[in-house]
Amino acid sequence: MVSTTATSIPLAPTQTLSVPGTPALELRVWGRKPRGHAVPLVLHFHGGAFVSGDLDSGACLAELLARSGAVVASLAYPLAPAHRFPDAVEAGYTALEWLYKQRTRLAGKDAPLFVAGEEAGGNIAAAVAMMVRDRAHPPLAGQILVAPMLDPCNATASLRQTMGKATCCKWMDGWQQYLRGPMDAEHPYAVPCRAQRLAGLPPTLILTGDDDPMRDEALAYAERLREAGIAVHGGVLQPATGWPDSLSESPVEACPCAGEVREHLRAFYQAATPPPPS
């Protein structure tokens, strides 16, 4: 069941999706379907190290995704530690299945479907993409991972540069609260970067910043995807991004790399979207 109410977000109303067997999940839709043709439909997952964040803190990337030419459904997925792995991934897949059924109404006939996320949301987006591959539905045009949180070891050089001499950080704490135990760290839906099989995943856009603590794990995952034959786009943004923390701030234009991000997104959308009729 879906109900529509007014919202302070100017781009679209808020819709509430009731997921069977769980509390209702809030789904905020950004952007509008154009007349006469389809645009990408993106399911977006916010950041927050698995334990925090909401639709407001995820608004920056959601708006960038929408202003680059898509209709974006941002999901308030269940958070750890009350909801540990795989609750958020299963909720994401359920929402994606619902969006696929609603794609004509929301984004136009045959609208291509994407998943996207920043930080922990990037992990969940990558996991949902694997679930789609393994369950052979729904058709997925691509995945968009921005400063994705992919490695629970927290041992990369880029993360050590950020942490300095600290022995713990919010990302390490987030992993500990998200995973139920050591065996979860071996599950590809929990830790996509450790998956043994990456073939069959959709084209991927991975964006990271030179100052991003998750830079090294993002680049390592991009390289593994390429080795598996997956088309990978994106790279390292050189100006100071402040990612992933700055992605929870508003307004969008305060982000120094907003223009460059939109260029990457538009090019990635275009490759998967049929041109409008002439």
Break the chain into its structural domains and give their ranges: 39-272
pLDDT digits (tens, 9 = 90+) for 211-249: 999 999 999 999 999 999 999 999 999 878 888 888 887
> What is the predicted pLDDT for the residue at 256?
73
Q: Tell me the per-residue pLDDT of 137-158, one tens digit each, with 9 for 90 and over.
A: 999 999 999 999 998 887 688 8
* 73-119 tens-digit pLDDT: 999 999 999 999 999 999 999 999 999 999 998 999 999 999 999 99
Q: DSSP secondary structure string, 24-77?
A: -EEEEEES-PPSSS---EEEEE--STTTS--TTTTHHHHHHHHHTT-EEEEE-P
Rounded Cα distance between 277 and 273, Å, is 12
| pTM recorded for the entire structure | 0.90
CATH superfamily label, 39-272 = Alpha/Beta hydrolase fold, catalytic domain (3.40.50.1820)
